[in-house]
Amino acid sequence: MRTLFILVLGTLIGAAAVGAVWSVGQPGENEQLEVRATVERLDDGRVEIGLQRRGDDGEWSETEKPQHRFLAPDAKSGVVKFSSSIAFDLVTRAERIEVEYHAQLAQEGRRVGSYFVQRFHAGDDPQTVAPVLCLVDPNQAALRTLCDGIAETFPAGVEVLESDSYNAVADEIERRLMAGEVSQIMATSNRLLETAVFARDHILLNNPDLGWTWVHYWFELLDPRLPATDDLFCMISHGGRDLFWGQASDAAITAAAALGINMRAESYSDVAEQADAIRQCVEDGAVSIATTLVSPDELAPAIAEARAAGIPVMSFNSGVQAAAEVGSSFHIGLDDRRAGEIAGEQFNQEGTQGTILCVIHEQNNTGLHERCDGLAATYANGEVETWSYQGRDAADEVLARAAEGDIAAVMALSDSVGLRILFAQWPDPEVPLATFGFNLGFAKWVEEGKIMFAIYDHPLVQTYLSVMGALLIDRMNLDPVTLFNGMAMLIEPQIADAEQMRRVTNRLIPQEIQDRYLESAEEDRSDDSRDDPE
């Protein structure tokens, strides 16, 4: 029977999940700086000079203009003039991170070498201890730095075996073990680890008197290399022109820019078009896809095609219950069921009595139905009527239903629907309204009592984290579906009543402006008191 004894020294997964990744190559390469001068004659006759630098992408930067950069129209001939200097940073962000990554690997290697001495060879004569055999896959050559770090603190030193021929590695391990030339084995990839364990166990099976040799590993769960600039990452969502998705798109673009990846972010109001967009990403060779699961059954075939093409898929926003079933690596979104429960609890606290109309603006959106179900589960003072509409005249339809007289309040499940219902009865709403979403208008109107309360649905958080998730599953060295096993990250919804919104608006208004108008209000009150008759 095959046995596996492995001493786990650690797994370095840290910085790549948040964009701290290193580029292909070694520090010091590609340090050539290409610049060009810009010269422009101005309307007043002066000549203005500047300097541009060509970036790694081949594009020229914006013009850098030194402080002293003008040549006067009456400048003397034959006299050389000099601009003030411009300093360019020759070290790119990726290169800086690469240096830091190598430094971290070296530090960890030194720690491992010290551990080997303390755990296995304390008190041994260094002259009698064999070296560590450090196995490196050429595809992850940077991990040689870990081996170098071990050599700094392990007195017997390190011998590096770098090969992607696993049979050759197994033969060499068996030879060295038989010759007593190895004290410890350090593998730096999963395949090399398995190769080393098989080789060690095979030797022990046929040579039971041979001394035991520990096999250790250092396995990078994430590929720390920066994705290629032409690698396509896709974020395909539903929702069309809804305000929620406008904010979500802004967050996705911001995240992609911060992480330095090529992101295609698209939103569709039709599920069939959303599925076609996923298929288009597959055809275009996307390396990772993030999608909402507004209608899991309709999207499942397109997701299956992506996975069959070797493209990992993660999901976000709606559809958490179906994420694992359709093959999503993991899911990020609002806890829709809990959001509805919180709304019901708030209606109870507000003293609402009677039927609440829960307005679903996307009939096939499973997450919206979960919100209404959660509302019905906790609302104690009446019934919850789940109600859907089609078309842009939602407000008129909702108010017509409310006019029948048995509706105590309306729960809108998006900021766009909430706004339309509010504006349809402006300026003095007669039908009590609560809504999902956040904007500055909501903050003011909740504070003023025109809206009962709002529930933050966090589009910025959902999509920003989902872009990071799309990068994460692309960088995984293990199958993310197997590793994460249908993991879901659900955001706890936040209720915003009048007191909360007052704090929000106070933070948005500069203190000096608040003080100014408070003083003005005090003066007005003082004037009014002087005018009052005795």
CATH number of the domain at 212, please.
3.40.50.2300
Same domain as 346, residue 327: no
Same domain as 10, residue 150: yes
Tokens standing for residue 36: 């060009």
Same domain as 349, residue 449: yes
Residue 123, phi then psi, degrees to nearest 5: 85, -10
Tokens standing for residue 395: 């407000």
Same domain as 299, residue 392: no
Same domain as 364, residue 328: no
Same domain as 440, residue 350: yes
Per-residue pLDDT at 50: 87
Same domain as 10, residue 120: yes
Q: Are strands 232-238 and 184-187 parallel, antiparallel or unpaired?
A: unpaired
Same domain as 313, residue 288: yes
The H or E element that residue 516 is part of is helix 511-531
Whole-number Cα distances in Å, 127 to 50, 149, 175: 64, 20, 21
Same domain as 193, residue 125: yes
Q: Tell me how far apart the alpha carbons of residues 418 and 415 are, in angstroms, rounded to a whole number.
A: 5
Tokens standing for residue 237: 């969502």
Q: Is residue 33 included in any domain, yes or no?
A: no
Same domain as 128, residue 11: yes
- Tokens 């059954």 belong to 297
Q: Is residue 52 included in any domain, yes or no?
A: no
Burial class (CB in 10 A: 0-12, 13-18, 19+), 22: buried
Same domain as 344, residue 281: no
Strand partners, 53: 35
Query: How many structural domains compose the chain?
Result: 4
Q: Is residue 11 included in any domain, yes or no?
A: yes
Among candidate residues 217, 243, 267, the one where a domain is terminated: 217
Kindly list the strands in the beta sheet with 494-496, ordered across the sheet, starting from the edge strand earlier in the chain. Answer: 384-388, 355-360, 407-412, 433-436, 454-456, 494-496
The residue type of 525 is: R
Examine residue 312 and say whether the peptide bond preceding it is cis (omega within 30 degrees of 0): no
Give me the helix-helix angle, 243-259 and 459-475, nearest 10°.
40
Q: Which domain holds residue 286?
A: 232-335
Q: Is residue 264 included in any domain, yes or no?
A: yes
Q: Is residue 81 included in any domain, yes or no?
A: no
Q: Are 431 and 402 in contact (CB under 8 A)?
A: yes
pLDDT block averages, 10 residues each, the chain of length 534: 31 26 34 81 88 81 85 85 77 79 94 95 89 93 94 95 94 95 94 95 92 91 85 90 85 92 91 96 97 94 96 94 93 95 96 95 89 97 87 78 90 91 88 91 90 94 95 90 89 90 82 73 59 48
Q: Is residue 456 included in any domain, yes or no?
A: yes
Among candidate residues 443, 460, 477, the one where a domain is terminated: 460
Residue 170, phi then psi, degrees to nearest 5: -60, -45
Q: How far is C-alpha 405 from the chain's CA centre?
A: 47
